[in-house]
Amino acid sequence: MARRRPACVAMAVDAFAMRIEAAAREHPSLAAPLAKRFTKAVVAGRRIEALRAARELVELLGVTRTLTTVSPVVMELLALAGLLDENPTNDSFAWVTLTGGVPTTDPLFGLPAALIRHLNPGPGRAERCEADAMLARVLARSGNDIVRYIDDISALGNHGLALLRRIDCTDGATRYVLLLPGTSFGRLSNSTPQDLVGAFDALLRTDTTYSRSARQVLVRAGVPEGAELMIVGHSLGGITAMNLACDLDFVSTYRLTHVVTVGSPIDTKRPVDPTTRIVSLVNQHDVIPGLDGRGPASAHDTPDSWVECAWLDETYDYPLSHAPQAYADTLRRGEVPHRDRVNRLITRYDGEIVGNQPYLVRDK
């Protein structure tokens, strides 16, 4: 005798199925027969059939194109898998994906925030260092332009560097820009805050080794209290930028005017200071921004005061679609109008760059 689903789970499954069906109208690749077979098997809870369909998709398209194909509904698929498996710990994130709210577990295994915190215990540290030749060349041609900022982040890499910039602005004020790169996917955990454990920790909490390291950058540099600051971050760097915006002590010390995130899952976080301008850049073929439970098929909206610049760029498959270079290339080509729009929002940082100081950021 088949086991019946609880009514609430059955209704949730129907809701996710309708989301996937609606997304297929905007993303025709989801309506292809094999992709449709895969999503229907996930909705029905037929795991063996879903695995077979996924394997056939990979054989036909390759891993990266398969991930790109399902990226618009990947959070719905993960939520369905969580609701319909035998593991009760990952149900919580599924309900967040459906109804909104702040996640308290990671989206894959249902690990609670308290456990992930213990896996990421460092106090956070920052030390000045010198730019290598390649980074120095990139920084030499930088300016107050979102594409240049993303180029700079790309040159910093994701092996434990951040950058603090000092600008003598055209209105006579001195302002600062903090650049925070994203996650290193080489190992689950390493000696820097830019690791996978740090990414899950930052998704669920605001006080992390990366946010503490970023504060140490400003302290080490002697940035005066009350100074105006913009933070630009990619992926985990963008989450960390939002975590700092959520920190009352931080925004009481520095005037955080702008947070610009690139490919970051930040939609469940809210800045303490409502005047902080939040700008989020999202390629809808990038899986990572949906890890907060809000993907392209989600009905949840961001606050009216936020500026979300979203587009669909099929030039790169995932994971290349998540790379800072891919975001910079899309904006540079001018196929979407967001470069000029973002640059108009950050004109108060126009001026002469008088300092570019890289910092090593470490867990301890």
Cβ distance 168 to 156 under 8 Å?
no
Percent of the chain residues past pLDDT 90, beyond the cut = 59
What is residue 126's DSSP assignment?
E
Q: What is the chain's mean pLDDT, rounded?
A: 90
pLDDT band at 335 (very low <50, low <70, confident <90, very high): confident
**73: CB partners within 8 A, 6+ apart:** 19, 20, 23, 30, 39, 295, 296, 297
Reply yes or no on whether the pLDDT at 263 is more than 90.
yes
Token duo for residue 212 = 């503490």
Tokens of 355: 């300092």
Distance from the first to the final alpha carbon of the chain: 56
Q: Which of 7-16, 91-100, 144-153 has the lowest mean pLDDT?
A: 91-100
Instruction: Please report which confidence band the pLDDT of residue 297 belongs to, taking 50, 70 and 90 as the band edges.
Output: low
Please write the tens of the pLDDT for every residue from 94-112.
888 888 777 778 777 777 7
Q: Say which DSSP state 204 is in.
A: H
If one compares 57 and 97, the residue with the highest pLDDT of the two is: 57
pLDDT at residue number 2: 47
Across 60-88, average pLDDT:
86
Residue 114's pLDDT is 76
Q: Does pLDDT of 266 surpass 70?
A: yes
| 297 or 138, greater pLDDT | 138
Q: Are 311 and 280 in contact (CB under 8 A)?
A: no
CB 177 within 8 A of CB 167: yes
The 10s digit of each residue's pLDDT in 173-189 is 999 999 999 998 766 77
| pLDDT tens readout for residues 189-233 | 778 999 888 888 888 899 999 999 999 999 999 999 999 999 999
Give pLDDT, residue 300.
63
Q: Would you state the structure tokens that stand for residue 297, as one six-digit string?
A: 């098929």
Q: Where residue 308 falls among pLDDT bands split at 50, 70, 90?
A: very high
As a whole number, mean pLDDT of residues 287-309 equals 79
Q: How far apart are CA 235 and CA 219, in angstroms?
A: 24
Band of pLDDT at residue 1, cut at 50, 70 and 90: very low
Query: CA–CA distance from 22 to each of 16, 36, 45, 264 (Å)?
Result: 10, 12, 20, 24
DSSP-assigned states of every residue in 300-351: ----TT-EEEEE---SS-TTGGGSHHHHHHHHHHTSSTHHHHHHHHTGGG-E
User: Is residue 259 exposed (0-12), middle (13-18) or buried (19+ Cβ within 10 Å)?
Assistant: buried
pTM greater than 0.85: yes
Average pLDDT over residues 130-159: 96
Identify the residue with better confidence: 84 or 353.
353
Q: Beginning with the edge strand found earlier in the chain, give each strand of the sheet holding 125-128 in spatial order.
A: 125-128, 351-362, 161-169, 174-180, 228-234, 255-262, 277-283, 307-311
Confidence tier at 25 by pLDDT (50, 70, 90): confident
